[in-house]
Structure 1
Amino acid sequence: MQNFRHYIFLFIIIPLFTFAEDGSQLWLRYPVNQKLRSIVNSNSKSPTLEIAKKELNKHWSGQPIDLKIDKFPDSFKDGYKIISTPKKITVLAKTDLGLLYGSYNLLNLQQQKANLTNFNLVEKPSFDVRILNHWDNLDGSIERGYAGHSLWKWEDLPNIISPKYEEYARANASIGINATVLNNVNASPNMLRGDYLKKVKILADVFRPYGIKVYLSVNFSSPKVLGNLKDSDPFNKDVQKWWKDKASEIYKLIPDFGGFLVKANSEGEPGPQDYGRTHADGANMMADVLKPYGGIVMWRAFVYSPSSDDRAKQAYLEFTPLDGKFRDNIIIQIKNGPVDFQPREPFHPLFGAMKNTSQMVEFQLTQEYLGHSNHLVYLAPLFKENLDSDTYSDGKGSTIAKITDGTLRPAKFTAISAVANIGEDTNWTGHHFAQSNWYAFGRLAWNHNLSSEQIADEWIKMTFTDDKKFVNPVKDMMLTSRETAVDYMMPLGLHHIFAGMHHYGPEPWGDYKGTRADWSPVYYHRADAEGLGFDRTKTGSDAVSEYFPPLNEMYGNIKTTPENLILWFHHVPWDYKMKDGKTMWEALCYKYDLGVHEVRDYQKVWGKMQPYVDNERFTDVQSKLKIQSKDAVWWKDACLLYFQTFSKRPIPDDIERPVNELEDLKKIKLPMGHHN
């Protein structure tokens, strides 16, 4: 009986583990060799190389592989070279980490059924630091997190080490992500307490063989709060000493600690301006204490304080006068757009405006403004739209990618970041398709020349199946999904008309009197009897002047402004004639209607995919698309019925009628934690 029970156990457990279709395996669904083979040779030894060998021996089904450390120029850093012959494959790299990345790429290519005969590939990453920013709090909650609680179990550390930590490191290494900020930018000073640093050390030890460095968000008031000093003024010698001692304590525990991420003097967070100092004064003080250890400071440009001026202008106004005043181990971290991770924004005018300061992009994977973990929105097209934007800072061709990757502005180091969408949900991201955004960020951080289409193609084949009848329709759905979200939420350059606090549904009527003006949707859309949109031209806030020519002229003229940003830069009359002859009001109606129909089309497309995908993920995605479809109607009705009270124009006859009453929609109040 004992043996019989043993066999039943094997029969039940192994298929579940190997073929788990709960999304927990992400894109890492490598075949498992039944017999652990030893087909990998190497001319070196290290914990990182052991991982590479283990992964290949377990999952590679081709010819033998040589992993070789070889001579390459210093600029090659994490790069690798793969040469295949009929008898063997050789992976060459400058470092063991390069060999690990090459090994994962081989496994990824195998999974995509790529042809590896007579294969010759040389790869090196576009950016030195490819970093996820976790907005995780010490109590396990995640600000703007829609995939359950934090992965980091602070109360269990340093004694209990969750297996998820290594799985997380492995997933990141498989796509070339090499850094992580463990905690929220709205940082608790307690993160720097000795007992927490010992916990951080454990995570750093788990991540290290996978090439991932740990960084921390720090609270500028830490010396006062933790050190009982009278203030946290960066010019105070006691404050400088406190940070110096803290750096020493950190690096004794974690010799390869990456550095600090800082949000200061923004949304009420403390910072150097509290003491009459500049961002440069605060950042330089921190940079100086990290310098001896090779640490860096990522100083966020997301600053805005109560002001009567246009919020979209503030970061530019605060940072451009400081150009050239930052130490060389500081990089300014700039959100992709000038307001806040909206479905569509023009690129941030700070990019390229500081000629003597290193800059990095900050994207957002967690869908704070894009339907949380309910809406299918593939974000690679948004990332590409930003990276490929020409700023004209150094003449034509001065794209954000080239400004930040060291091509146009030689920098001591380059970086790119994204706010993570990862939690402890079984499928990691709350929506099976949200995994594609984590994957896409890693791939673009590694190579920003990849297309959204190629990345989607890879991810689908690795995550679901390589059957063309599945790949092609699902890829089309993914590639259009960001534009669809813009259509049913905020077309034509509308922005930030979300319900307050949770940012889930529409609230264009929101006017939060008694709080800051720029927290109210009415501040952004400016609807009145004349028209709609925010005048940022010379007659308005003049935000257009923050862009280089010819963009300032282009955006400043309603005729030459791209129509997908027309309401961002102009207060447009309701009857303004668009390029296709429709009035602006009609164009708005048709865009919202189109968004609704596009999501319904996704429901149809996904319905036909049932034969090609496991039942668990099929039904999961299907139920999320139902929510997205209802939400699209909610957005359309709320916005059109509300804006109609100003436009006083009929909704065109060939558009589906609203199914809700405006007064009923105004009564919807979702709780803060809502994301279902």
Structure 2
Amino acid sequence: MCFGLANHALAEDGYDLWLRYQPLESAARARYAPRIAALVAPGESATIRAAVDELDRGYRGMFGQPLARRQVVQDGAVLVARAGAPLLAGLELPFAKLGNGGYLIRSATLHGKRVTIIAGNTDQGALYGVFRFLKLIQTGQPIDALDIADAPKLQVRVLNHWDNLNGHVERGYAGLSIWDWQKLPRFNDPRYTDYARANAAIGINGTVLTNVNANADILRPDYLEKVKALAAVFRPYGIRVYLTARFSAPIELGGLKTADPLDPQVRAWWKSKIDEIYTVIPDFGGLLVKANSEGQPGPADYHRTHAEGANMLADALAPHHGIVMWRAFVYAAENAEDRHKQAYTEFQPLDGKFRDNVLVQVKNGAIDFQPREPFHPLFGAMPHTPLMMEFQITKEYLGFATHLAYLGTMWEEALSADTHRPGSVAKVLETQVEPGAVTGMAGVANIGNDRNWSGSQFDQANWYAFGRFAWDPEAKADAVARDWARMTWGNDPAVVGPVLRMMMGSREAVVDYMTPLGLGHQMATGHHYGPGPWIADLKRPEWNPVYYARAAPDGIGFDRTRTGSDALSQYAPEVAKAWGSLDTVPDSLLLWFHHVPWDYRMKSGRTLWDALVIHYDTGVDHVRAMQADWAGLRGKVDAQRWAEVRDFLAIQLDEAIWWRDASIAYFQSIAKRPLPAGHKPPAHDLDYYKAITTPYAPGQAG
């Protein structure tokens, strides 16, 4: 039986990501080869050359020989072009619907020859089409009668690198930063090109190179020359560079006494600096700003609003067609309001007051990238302001690189949520607030200088999935996972089936053994590694896990109804009604919105206490099931990657049991209830778990 790809025994380390281009088996080569006899690519732009090179690279890998390049059309030719190319004259192809980034792939007859046309309105669109065409072959799809037209639903699709200039990656679990600032601009690591290829393959068109906890030095002339070198590598792949702006840069770099956004000298400094950036990097994308959040400087330091701060930068960027991405992740220690409410309280009254080239960047949930959160109440609440989604690809709260947790299911859950203001979160993101307004999605990158890029083989799937959801926020997590599995592990159904089963249940397993039934932020201090539901001694209330669980003898959960913080009032009435009632709130969000007694009867008929314990054990059991699935794949995937995943699953099981036992020990000390029948007690007493410290866990801030 032919599954398309051959030789699972070859050693691999994961470097090639979803661009492995493994040799095809003989039957597949025979099926595809007549349809790809030669390549015709009119145009000599750097992007078209990148597309041609990629097509040749893929052909060499899968067919074992170079792809013949021709100047004239022949049977089996693949024609890579942009709209308006003379060879396409008279074909009446539907370019109008493709926009700037879309593409079509069509089987056609041209000058009496059977050909495959890959084209877009722009060279970048044609490049995306080439990657899609190669994916069809990688995943064993037919290519003899193609009629594909696809275009991104969002314009700005960016990775946010939380990389510091010293090489440390905040919340990064894949080694150090891939940007070697010391060697730039003289030396461009070939890895930068592979980074660009991998991103272009999934439609990502922008990269923010530096941490949101910004360092003003990145705006110095010497660093701008380094950024220029990276921009030159990325440009053929349609990727723009962006930088984070430290709001106090006029003081730190410009010697001013203030960074007040309404001060004429401050405005002039930013205009001059941004003009300088565009002189060095003409296609610079714009700035990302974290302001007045977690100690970062911002306009509130001068009693100005977020809109006044963002608009100052937007005005300086507008002549260059640059954008500002202004993060809505704000909360303050001196603010006693429920942290869930603070971003809405600060930003919703500013709806319609931001410039047209400002995107307000909103996290998927109101707290902080938790294993599960309800969708952020700002989505749908600012109809006159472009909002962009911020997802976290790196798993700060989901077990770092060693826990298998496919985030596509989380993102589909958030994007498909109905805001009733109107429609889904995805529709809010896709709908321009006015003609020409910018749309976008950002993902906090999980990339480092580890050989496999993301710290683990399966964490590559989250980078891949982000690109797919940024291209189409209405994508389906299972379809995305299936494509990734086939491109990464091969087309054998005996491999793809177990891999999909592992992936699709993995995030729910993490929720179960970490934060079941709507609990949130139960992680240990600072690094967010391991359980710490008892922590109550941090200087800011909302940094303490006890703030969120509110476990007490009378019950557990955070009351966000009218009798509590009333955070539910920030949602549309239909949402508030559904989540505000114990009869209709889903079990998965129960403790997020309600404080309920330990003996509260769940919809299953179990008490809350029993259900909590069962969820912890269900999460652990799923990890064991993943181990069994993976063990069955020995010999069906390459030995090196198989062994790494096996070892990481063993770590995950150990830590899932740690989470389960520590959490049950703590909550049982308060609930004073016996465990349900058949569920064993924690291996140690509560003091044992409280005594565990991991001060050198990776990815800490700083």
Bin for the TM-score computed over the shorter chain? over 0.9
Question: Are residues 1:110 and 2:134 paired?
Answer: no
Question: Are residues 1:572 and 2:596 paired?
Answer: yes
Q: Which secondary structure does the structure 2 equivalent of 1:73 belong to? A: helix
Amino acid at match of 1:456: A
Report what 2:451 is aligned to.
426
Contact 1:374 1:675 in 2 (8 A): no
Q: Provide the rounded CA distance (Å) in 1 between the counterparts of 2:261 and 2:574.
A: 40
Contact 2:432 2:438 in 1 (8 A): no
Cα distance per residue 1:275-317 (max 9 Å; x no partner) = 0100000000000000000000000000011121100000000
Q: 1:450: Cα distance to partner?
A: 2.4
Report what 1:605 is aligned to.
629
Q: How does 1:130-169 map to 2 (within 5 A)?
A: 130-169=157-196
Amino acid at match of 1:326: F
Contact 1:280 1:326 in 2 (8 A): yes
Q: Provide the rounded CA distance (Å) in 1 between the counterparts of 2:583 and 2:434.
A: 33
Report what 1:389 is aligned to.
417
Q: Provide the rounded CA distance (Å) in 1 between the counterparts of 2:684 and 2:639.
A: 34
Contact 1:39 1:57 in 2 (8 A): no
Cα distance per residue 1:1-42 (max 9 Å; x no partner) = xxxxxxxxxxxxxx99x955011111111147999x992212
Q: 1:407: Cα distance to partner?
A: 6.1
Of 542, 548, 553, the residue aligned with 2:577 is 553
Q: Return closer, same or farther for 1:542/1:229 CA change in 2, 3 Å cut-off.
A: same
Cα distance per residue 1:176-232 (max 9 Å; x no partner) = 110000000000011111111110000000000000000001100000110000110
Report what 2:664 is aligned to.
640
Q: Provide the rounded CA distance (Å) in 2 between the counterparts of 1:379 and 1:615.
A: 26
Q: Provide the rounded CA distance (Å) in 2 between the counterparts of 1:118 and 1:38.
A: 16
Q: 1:536: Cα distance to partner?
A: 0.4
Contact 2:389 2:442 in 1 (8 A): yes
Report what 1:42 is aligned to.
41
Of 644, 651, 654, the residue aligned with 2:678 is 654
Q: 1:548: Cα distance to partner?
A: 0.2
Question: Are residues 1:331 and 2:359 paired?
Answer: yes
Q: Which secondary structure does the structure 1 equivalent of 2:117 belong to? A: strand
Q: Provide the rounded CA distance (Å) in 1 between the counterparts of 2:332 and 2:11.
A: 48
Q: Which moved more, 1:531-540 or 1:504-513?
A: 504-513
Q: Provide the rounded CA distance (Å) in 1 between the counterparts of 2:432 and 2:504.
A: 28
Q: Which secondary structure does the structure 1 equivalent of 2:12 belong to? A: coil
Contact 2:105 2:129 in 1 (8 A): yes
Question: Are residues 1:97 and 2:121 paired?
Answer: no
Q: 1:115: Cα distance to partner?
A: 1.1
Q: Which moved more, 1:657-666 or 1:368-377?
A: 657-666
Q: 1:59: Cα distance to partner?
A: 2.2
Amino acid at match of 2:261: P
Amino acid at match of 2:590: I
Contact 1:512 1:519 in 2 (8 A): no
5+ residue gaps, structure 1, are: 1-14
Question: Are residues 1:252 and 2:243 paired?
Answer: no
Q: Which secondary structure does the structure 1 equivalent of 2:223 belong to? A: helix
Amino acid at match of 1:79: G
Contact 1:215 1:258 in 2 (8 A): yes
Contact 1:316 1:349 in 2 (8 A): yes
- Following superposition, which runs of at least 4 residues in structure 1 exceed 4 angstroms of deviation? 31-35, 407-411
Report what 2:107 is aligned to.
84
Report what 1:6 is aligned to.
none
Q: 1:492: Cα distance to partner?
A: 0.3
Q: Which secondary structure does the structure 1 equivalent of 2:79 belong to? A: strand
Q: Provide the rounded CA distance (Å) in 1 between the counterparts of 2:474 and 2:340.
A: 28
Of 638, 642, 654, the residue aligned with 1:630 is 654
Q: Provide the rounded CA distance (Å) in 2 between the counterparts of 1:653 and 1:675.
A: 39
Contact 2:403 2:649 in 1 (8 A): yes
Q: Which secondary structure does the structure 2 equivalent of 1:560 belong to? A: coil
Question: Are residues 1:65 and 2:92 paired?
Answer: no
Q: 1:68: Cα distance to partner?
A: 2.4
Q: 1:465: Cα distance to partner?
A: 1.1
Contact 1:389 1:399 in 2 (8 A): yes
Q: Provide the rounded CA distance (Å) in 2 between the counterparts of 1:369 and 1:519.
A: 14
Of 236, 249, 258, the residue aligned with 1:222 is 249
Amino acid at match of 1:65: V
Amino acid at match of 1:29: R
Question: Are residues 1:29 and 2:20 paired?
Answer: yes
Amino acid at match of 2:551: A
Q: Return closer, same or farther for 1:480/1:409 CA change in 2, 3 Å cut-off.
A: farther
Question: Are residues 1:263 and 2:296 paired?
Answer: no
Aligned length: 656
Report what 1:357 is aligned to.
385
Amino acid at match of 1:55: E
Q: 1:131: Cα distance to partner?
A: 0.5
Superposition RMSD on alpha carbons, in Å? 1.9
Contact 2:177 2:449 in 1 (8 A): yes
Q: How does 1:409-448 map to 2 (within 5 A)?
A: 412-448=437-473
Contact 1:80 1:124 in 2 (8 A): yes
Q: Provide the rounded CA distance (Å) in 1 between the counterparts of 2:318 and 2:640.
A: 50
Question: Are residues 1:586 and 2:610 paired?
Answer: yes
Q: Provide the rounded CA distance (Å) in 1 between the counterparts of 2:531 and 2:613.
A: 16
Q: Return closer, same or farther for 1:494/1:438 CA change in 2, 3 Å cut-off.
A: same
Cα distance per residue 1:622-664 (max 9 Å; x no partner) = 0100010011111111111100111110011211332222111
Q: Provide the rounded CA distance (Å) in 2 between the counterparts of 1:198 and 1:672.
A: 34
Amino acid at match of 1:70: A
Q: Provide the rounded CA distance (Å) in 2 between the counterparts of 1:41 and 1:600.
A: 51
Contact 1:85 1:117 in 2 (8 A): no
Contact 2:105 2:149 in 1 (8 A): yes
Q: 1:253: Cα distance to partner?
A: 0.6
Of 311, 319, 331, the residue aligned with 1:292 is 319
Contact 2:325 2:360 in 1 (8 A): yes
Q: Return closer, same or farther for 1:346/1:409 CA change in 2, 3 Å cut-off.
A: farther
Identity %: 50
Give the TM-score, by structure 1 length: 0.95
Q: Which secondary structure does the structure 2 equivalent of 1:88 belong to? A: strand
5+ residue gaps, structure 2, are: 1-5, 68-75, 85-94
